[in-house]
Amino acid sequence: MDTDTVLRPIAVVGGALVVTLLAGWLLDLLLRRADARHSETPLWGLLRHCRLPFQLVLCATLLYGSHRRMGIGPEYVFAVGRALTLVLIGSAAWLLVRIATAVVDASYARYAAQNPDDARVRRVRTQVTLIHRVVTAVVVVVAVAAMLLTFPPMRAVGASMLASAGVLGIVAGIAAQSSLGNLFAGLQIAFGDTVRIGDTVVVDEEWGTVEEITLTFLVVRTWDERRITMPVSYFTGKPYENWSRGGAQMTGTVFWHLDHSAPLDLMREQLLGILEEIPEWDGRTGTLAVTDTTPHTIQVRAVVTAKDATDIWTVRCQVRERLISWLLAHHPYALPRIATSPADPRPSPS
């Protein structure tokens, strides 16, 4: 075997690796300096994650441009070129996805830091998350298509299938009707601002928080740490409760069934005292009234408020527990009871 035939490929590959490593080191150095100078944005620090795909793109490009002069056998030139082309397409797609991820994350971080409105921040988070997923899907599809088109048989098959594109389109449309419906529903949710990541919702009588929104499904985390996965089309075609819509503040109610002799005025005073000791109460409302009556009991309702769904649950439980304990300790006659003594006689007419 000729020495030049062995040394030339090694020299070309080694030179490409050296240039790639130096370029990657230089890129990382520049990004670290830019990140230190511009601490107000995390973009430059996030772009450092692009170093590996950048090096892969550069190395594949250098090798592709010089593989014909490596001195390898003519029977291997085409195969090497095809492999380098596939690597170049894949690494370029990887680099684009990393850049898009860095830009999206940096934009969201800056917006969240500058905007104190939690509802708007969650809306933007939902939108940029879905935009990032769409961009990633488009890049992956284009990259796979480009890889397939490098094979001549694939181009021939694609050309022959164009003649029946109308029939195939109808069949694909029918088969993918549900998936396409979920896809458009996901985009509608992102830009229609109907539900956002972090919203408190009630779906199918389950209360929870929206944890993740994708192009096809949505995850709701319930209060007991279960995850409910639902198609996004559910939120565009069926009614549901969104407790975070229009603001996170919540109003809750607490009910008691008590005896007719219950000391309502004292209960109102005790309710205010209890609410002042509960840190989750936001101070907006704390009222008590009789809302219904039966032959044996009266229904007493307290209305309380808090800053969000989690706090209103705590306030309701605390008020219910403490007021019942107070009635047991100081006014046990106010609790429901079954009358076993004769009723008071009717007064005689005067």
DSSP state of 348: P
Segments making up each domain of the chain, as ranges: 3-164, 178-242, 250-334
Compute the distance between CA of residue 129 and CA of residue 232 in angstroms, rounded to an integer.
14
Is residue 270 within a helix (H) or strand (E), and if so which, with residue range? helix 264-276
DSSP state of 68: G
Q: Are 32 and 48 in contact (CB under 8 A)?
A: yes
Residue by residue, pLDDT tens for the chain (350 residues) are 455 556 666 777 788 788 888 988 888 888 888 888 877 778 788 888 888 888 888 888 888 777 666 666 666 777 777 888 888 888 888 888 888 888 888 877 877 777 776 766 777 777 777 777 778 888 888 888 777 777 776 655 544 444 444 444 444 444 444 555 556 666 666 666 677 888 888 888 788 888 887 767 788 888 788 888 888 777 777 788 877 776 668 888 999 999 988 899 999 999 999 999 999 998 888 999 999 998 888 999 999 998 887 888 899 999 999 999 999 999 998 888 776 666 566 566 65
Q: Is 195 helix (H, G, I), strand (E, B) or coil?
A: coil
Q: Are 300 and 256 in contact (CB under 8 A)?
A: yes
Q: Are 37 and 80 in contact (CB under 8 A)?
A: no
Q: Is the domain defined by 250-334 classed in CATH 1.10.599.10?
A: no
DSSP string, 81-106: HHHHHHHHHHHHHHHHHHHHHHHHHH
Compute the distance between CA of residue 285 and CA of residue 275 in angstroms, rounded to an integer.
10
Going edge to edge, which strands form the sheet with 281-293? 250-258, 298-306, 281-293
Rg (CA), the chain: 34
| pLDDT score for 292 | 92
| pLDDT score for 67 | 67
Global pTM reads 0.50
Compute the distance between CA of residue 244 and CA of residue 324 in angstroms, rounded to an integer.
30
| pLDDT score for 39 | 75
Q: What separation in angstroms does the CA of 222 have from each of 16, 150, 189, 345?
A: 53, 48, 20, 55
| pLDDT score for 274 | 92
User: Which residues 6+ apart lie within 8 Å of 13 measured at CB?
Assistant: 63
| pLDDT score for 325 | 93
| pLDDT score for 343 | 56
| CA angle, 283 then 289 then 294, to 5° | 150
In a 10 Å sphere around its CB, with 0-12 CB exposed, 13-18 middle and 19+ buried, how is residue 177 labelled?
exposed
| pLDDT score for 28 | 85
Q: Are 310 and 287 in contact (CB under 8 A)?
A: no
**CATH topology identical between 178-242 and 250-334:** no
Q: Is the domain defined by 178-242 classed in CATH 2.115.10.20?
A: no
